[in-house]
């Protein structure tokens, strides 16, 4: 499937299928799924936006170059930047925050935003965006306040990256990150991951935390919770089966981990999403 060439997308409209969406204080937040092998022809968006890949991945072509965006990749686009996208063989899920011009102008008063697209592979900004995605799924009376704070923090990371020229992880570390993101349901060991990356485990642990803002264990748990959240909201599978398929050893272990991240039990989370 291929999109319409040269199309300009209004705020609140992407080529993905929206799972959930909400307008919050000058921002439009949407959780999208994209079909496997989707080709999106060169196009533009009216609004500036941040996006994070929650699962799957795609390649983005812009300004004569191509960049790979896997799980945990955050991109920042200014308005009317032309780009094209080519999605991989599996379904991809992307969380997006679009900004009204006045909101973005206010954020840029403290430090200039980049004048070109920016990309971040994991790190603090990815953690912030994942938390904002969880707030969209939760969406209670406190969520708008939490989302606004997370959005400001995310843009602060964009501004830091613009000043520092970005801090791209080395290829061996990207390889380790991709392994964790793709095999998070398996019983991975630190020794196996380090061996695949070709580095000492101590070096792997230190550099993974420095570049991605979390431990390897945290990254695995986060991916498991993301998968479980989607299954709870959009399937009728028993909670015990969801826990097993996401890589948890037991339903009780899963429930405790899920509550720590979302503040809700799996059953309550499912009811809330179904009500919405």
What does the pLDDT look like over 120-166, one tens digit per residue? 877 788 888 989 999 998 898 999 999 999 999 998 888 877 665 44
Q: Residue 22 forms beta bridges with which residues?
A: 29
> Strands, E, within the chain: which ranges?
8-9, 17-24, 27-34, 39-45, 48-55, 58-62, 65-69, 73-77, 83-87, 92-99, 118-121
Q: What is the pTM of this model?
A: 0.64
Instruction: Judge if 87 and 223 occupy the same domain.
Output: no
Question: Are the CB atoms for 257 and 105 separated by under 8 Å?
Answer: no
Instruction: Judge if 151 and 211 occupy the same domain.
Output: no
Domain assignment present for residue 203? The answer is yes
Instruction: Judge if 147 and 44 occupy the same domain.
Output: yes
pLDDT exceeds cutoff 80 at 214:
no
Question: Are the CB atoms for 74 and 117 separated by under 8 Å?
Answer: no
What CATH number has the domain bearing residue 27?
2.60.120.10
> In terms of Cα–Cα distance, which of 97, 111, 113 is closest to 49?
97
How far is 56 from 133, CA to CA, in rounded Å? 16
**Domain count of the fold of the chain:** 2
Q: According to the model, what pLDDT value does residue 165 have? A: 47
Range of the domain at 79: 8-164
């Amino acid at each position: 499937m291929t999109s319409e060439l040269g199309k300009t997308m209004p705020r609140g409209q992407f080529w993905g299928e929206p799972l959930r969406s909400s307008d919050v204080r000058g921002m439009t937040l949407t959780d999208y799924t994209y079909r496997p092998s989707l080709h999106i022809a060169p196009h533009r968006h009216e609004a500036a936006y941040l996006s994070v890949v929650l699962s799957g991945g795609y390649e983005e072509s812009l300004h004569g170059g191509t960049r790979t965006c896997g799980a945990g990749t955050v991109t920042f686009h200014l308005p009317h930047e032309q780009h094209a996208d080519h999605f991989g063989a599996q379904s991809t899920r992307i969380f997006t925050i679009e900004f009204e011009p006045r909101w973005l102008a206010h954020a840029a008063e403290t430090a200039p935003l980049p004048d070109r697209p920016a990309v971040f592979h994991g790190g603090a900004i990815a953690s912030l965006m994942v938390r904002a995605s969880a707030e969209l799924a939760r969406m209670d009376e406190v969520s708008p306040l939490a989302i606004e704070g997370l959005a400001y923090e995310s843009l602060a990371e964009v501004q830091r990256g613009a000043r520092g020229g970005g801090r791209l992880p080395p290829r061996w570390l990207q390889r380790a990150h991709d392994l964790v993101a793709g095999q998070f349901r398996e019983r991975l060991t630190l020794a196996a991951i380090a061996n695949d990356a070709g580095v000492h485990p101590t070096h792997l642990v230190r550099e993974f935390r420095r570049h991605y803002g979390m431990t390897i264990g945290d990254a695995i748990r986060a991916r498991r919770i993301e998968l479980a959240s989607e299954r709870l909201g959009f399937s009728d599978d028993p909670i015990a089966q969801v826990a097993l398929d996401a890589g948890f050893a037991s339903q009780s272990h899963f429930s405790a981990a899920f509550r720590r991240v979302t503040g809700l039990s799996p059953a309550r989370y499912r009811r809330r999403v179904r009500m919405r």
